[in-house]
Amino acid sequence: MASMARRAHPLLSNIPHFLTWRSLGFRTICCGRLGFATQSQPDPDPVVAGTKVLETFREEFEIGSRLISFETGKIARFANGSVVMGMDETKVLSTVASAKGDAARDFLPLTVDYQEKQFAQGVIPNTFMRREGAPKERELLCGRIIDRPIRPLFPAGFYHEVQVMASVLSSDGTQDPDVMAANATSAALMLSDIPWGGPIGVIRIGRISGKFIVNPTMDELSLSDLNLIYACTKDKTLMIDVQAREISEKDLEAGLRLAHPEAVKYLEPQIRLAAKAGKHKKEYKLSLISERTLEKVGNLAEAPIESVFTDPSYGKFERGEALDKITQDVRRSLEEECDEESLKVLPKTVDTVRKKVVRKRIINEGFRVDGRQLDEVRPVYCEAGSFPILHGSSIFNRGDTQVLCTVTLGAPGDAQRLESLVGPPTKRFMLHYSFPPFSINEVGKRVGLNRREVGHGTLAEKALLAVLPPEDDFPYTVRVNSEVMASDGSTSMATVCGGSMALMDAGIPLREHVAGVSVGLVSEVDPTTGLIKDYRILTDILGLEDHLGDMDFKIAGTRKGVTAIQLDIKPAGIPLDIICECLEPAYKGRLQILDHMEREISAPRTQNERNSPRLATLKFSNDALRRLIGPLGALKRKIEEETGARMSVSDGTLTIVAKNQAVMEKVLEKVDFIVGREIEIGGIYKGVVSSIKEYGAFVEFNGGQQGLLHISELSHEPVSRISDVVSVGQQLSLMCIGQDVRGNIKLSLKATSPRPGADTNNVADGSVPPVKEEPNIWASVGEVSNEQENENSPLEELSESKSEMSGVNPSTSSISPILIRSAAECDEEEKSAALSQNPKSATSNVGASKSNCKSKKSPPEDHANESPFSNSGLFPTKNVKKSKRVLQKEGEIDFNSILKSLDADGNKHNSSHTHTMNGSTGQEDEVEAPITAKKLKIGTKVTANVYQIRARGLVLDLGGGLRGMYRFETDGKEDYEVGDELRVECSSFSSKGIPVVSLVDDQ
């Protein structure tokens, strides 16, 4: 660089050193700036940062044996109000802020945002951007828990924008942060300069084994039959939210009476904290209607409004049109007087006059807007099964309110995945509530999650969740969709009623119906003391009565008790005594609605086969599941696309959900072909002809296994050429009729077809009635009842016929029957003294792999563990044993290999049974000639001839074409010759069903 500078500026090399920049104390110019060099100056002392002292204020107190703290001053100091509340290791921050300037509106724009970020539990979000996205349902619900109790306490006419932001800073997973956020918000409002009539206290109450628990943990809530959230001021109730399992009104009232004094304990610490760190309340401009304007508009509009509301013939929209006409008449009168002040607040003034007229008539005369009595429920119309093609549907009308509910069943894998800091990770029951604009004849956009829709849907979901069967007895994922078709009050309670009927229409075994009704209140307050001096309780309120009244008390439940409650109020609190008084009229109204619902549908409906969904749960080995899924799930997706079913896989379990029984059978067929299942004598299997020989055809079936379809088993009529009947690639339904001594599986085509000229219901001679082992399938009640009635007769025949099958004798052309049993089953028979009394009870399983022979055992039917819903005929499981599906390989095993396999466990097979008795007769089991496979069993004594001599034992001719094995004793081989006659006893059977015998000393 220096050489380049010299070339560019040749005079620089001739400048004396004392004239250079460095000699004069300047920096070099390579940085583009001039400045004095400091290398010759002494280094100054380093600047030390000052220490910031944060003045924090803290209040600690104890509620329900838990230490709770309020802290302010450390975090979010610029917010109008900021409080961190702590309980154990859970910390929640709540901040409040208000907009500056005058408010030009006629409502309170209060916004409450609650957020749970994953850092609070040390987790990175699992989203693509690794950030938290739009608010989840739980966050919206928690925001409503905060909003509902604080909103009534803002002063009338305060219309300045207020925003509350609550977020979880840390969570240990033991406490639900929602109640903590509500209390922290109350403390933050107390610290701010916003006018507010608090503080409030919010408490959660649970109940386990009849004992109430204050501030229960999440583990305790999972065992509790009550989840009560209660908010109040010192002497009045502000908000109630309840989820319960049919708790009685008496017990609920006891819980409310307990919750109030516990919630009041939150108030004093907030007052102390505000005294130490709170701001002076700011004077805000209130948008109130002047007395002059109210009087003038009242004189013009009160008489016409009263005439409208005293005429019960008016409907919702007719009444609204009449009120609009009255407003326009008043507007023209004010315009003639040029009263600009009154014109600005005319709509709100008319609404105030309307409210005064309606409330006065209800309190003084006891008559409501539509002419009903105070405790009268509107006319109810119920209809279940409105859309037969759906899994479940219903229409519910109460007055002008109409709701359409539908039910969709899905697999366990369809459950909703939740990403909250507390609570379960999934949700298998979902209720989605939708309030379209056309339901109130308006125009609007449908965008995103609506807080009101989420809140109403969750309330109905809580109400119905209490009567659903447990997951172990009912494994489906259930989605209820509620569409409001017309709204005139309490659509959420109509959703509860319609949802209950739709669930029963879908065949879901609900314990009983759930209904809901909304109760309102109209009160008269003493203006001097602010106390309620008179009030009226209204059952089943209209939308107008909700708007003009003091509260909306939604109560849902069964005949036995309450399952869900949501209380919202408009004044600054209502005494708890009045709240408890509302429980009785709500119960009476609920019973009236339940009567109508039960007349329409009183028990879970039986679905027809075409539309009834099916769910099957199958057990597989993990290797078999990997084969079924295929590379990257390609094979599983292909089956789902071809059949329309859904398959979900977990450890050792495959769950299939199909639209109907036909789809389920199609899926099971594909699964059987890919994975294979346990081969049973008499079972019918579908296979594909892989090759044709002169003596028969080889068929591939059951997950790649090979079976032989002999020419003699093609048809009841003689067959000269096999190609005349079957061809390569042809798909056939075949019956497994046995297994030869080499282990080859024998198949029969003629056994699946009736003999010509015979009754179609009779099975061909020498074959076995086809009984296919089925998985555990959830079906509707009507389809199972007929099967259970006829279940005994074919099973009794099967137990006799399963012990017989035909086999190929390698030495003769005649067909001799042999007995096919697994070694493990025969060992089990050998150990049980009673098994020899019932030789027909042995299960015939063929083709089991070597690894499965030792562990295979037919479990007895266990009726003690049946679901209680099976007895009532609601979604029973078919009474069949569980399908154990294993892949079995074709293999030919000769006698020598079988004898070699006896080296490992020959001691078991070689035990003597010379004293085995035959049942209760006390006689030794002798077999008369000729011997047959049916007569041969453990303990049978026969006279046999030596057929072959092997290195490890003998092959014996038992007569009738049967062969048996005898293993030499451990002390060495004796001298035998072919043809020697021996007296032997059948001691067990090999894994291929070959008899294993021991010598008998009859002397």
Q: What is the pLDDT of residues 732-757, one digit of tens each?
A: 888 888 877 666 788 888 888 777 65
Using CA atoms in the order 931, 932, 934, 935, what is the torsion angle rounded to 10 degrees?
0
Q: Closest by alpha carbon to 607, among 388, 756, 892?
A: 388
- Give the separation between CA 913 and CA 926, rounded to whole angstroms: 13
Q: What is the pLDDT of residues 102-132, one digit of tens each?
A: 666 778 899 999 999 989 988 898 888 888 8
Average pLDDT over residues 659-671: 85
Integer angstrom CA distances of residue 584 from 84, 321, 579, 593, 686: 40, 36, 10, 15, 64
Q: Is the pLDDT of residue 257 over 90?
A: yes
Integer angstrom CA distances of residue 658 from 46, 510, 646, 763: 76, 22, 7, 32
Q: Are 550 and 521 in contact (CB under 8 A)?
A: yes
CA neighbours closer than 13 Å in the CB half-sphere of residue 853? 20
Reported as type and span, the H/E element at residue 102 is: none
* Cβ neighbours around 390 below 10 Å, total: 16
- Give the separation between CA 592 and CA 121, rounded to whole angstroms: 48
Percent of the chain with pLDDT over 70: 74
Q: Are 67 and 60 in contact (CB under 8 A)?
A: yes
Going 75 to 78 to 79 to 83, the CA torsion angle's sign is positive
Q: Which letter does DSSP use for residue 428 in this model? A: S
- Give the separation between CA 942 and CA 407, rounded to whole angstroms: 66
Give residue 458's pLDDT band: very low, low, confident or very high (50, 70, 90).
very high
Most confident of 559-573, 791-805, 944-958: 559-573
Quote the pLDDT of residue 983.
85
Q: Are 924 and 976 in contact (CB under 8 A)?
A: no
**pTM for this model (two decimals):** 0.68
Average pLDDT over residues 414-426: 86
105 compared with 442, residue with greater pLDDT: 442
Going 249 to 251 to 257 to 261, the CA torsion angle's sign is negative
Give residue 778's pLDDT band: very low, low, confident or very high (50, 70, 90).
low
Average pLDDT over residues 789-813: 36
Mean pLDDT score of the chain, rounded to an integer? 78
Most confident of 555-559, 680-684, 709-713, 899-903: 555-559
Most confident of 190-199, 359-368, 908-917, 950-959: 190-199
Average pLDDT over residues 383-409: 92
Lowest mean pLDDT among 553-567, 690-704, 959-973: 959-973
Q: Which two structure tokens, joined as six digits, stand for 14?
A: 């001739």
Q: Where are the alpha helices (DSSP H) in 437-582?
A: 451-465, 491-505, 543-548, 576-581
- Give the separation between CA 562 and CA 583, rounded to whole angstroms: 10
Tell me, letter by letter, the H, E, C secondary structure of 38-72. CCCCCCCCCCCCCCCCCCCEEEEEEECCEEEEEEE
788 compared with 961, residue with greater pLDDT: 961
Q: Which letter does DSSP use for residue 305 in this model? A: H
Reported as type and span, the H/E element at residue 958 is: strand 953-959
3-state secondary structure of 532: strand
Give residue 855's pLDDT band: very low, low, confident or very high (50, 70, 90).
very low
Q: What is the pLDDT of residues 165-175, one digit of tens each?
A: 999 999 998 98
Percent of the chain with pLDDT over 90: 35
Reported as type and span, the H/E element at residue 9 is: none
- Give the separation between CA 642 and CA 657, rounded to whole angstroms: 14
Q: Token pair 């047959």 is at which residue?
A: 932
781 compared with 662, residue with greater pLDDT: 662
Q: Is the pLDDT of residue 462 over 90?
A: yes
Q: What is the pLDDT of residues 2-37, one digit of tens each?
A: 444 444 454 444 555 545 545 555 444 444 444 444
Q: Is 65 left (phi over 0), alpha (psi -120 to 50) or beta?
A: left
- Give the separation between CA 649 and CA 624, rounded to whole angstroms: 11
Q: What is the pLDDT of residues 594-630, one digit of tens each?
A: 999 999 999 988 755 446 678 888 888 888 888 888 8
Quote the pLDDT of residue 925.
55
Q: What is the pLDDT of residues 961-971, one digit of tens each?
A: 677 888 777 55
Q: Which two structure tokens, joined as six digits, stand for 970?
A: 């451990």
Q: Are 278 and 190 in contact (CB under 8 A)?
A: yes
Give residue 254's pLDDT band: very low, low, confident or very high (50, 70, 90).
very high
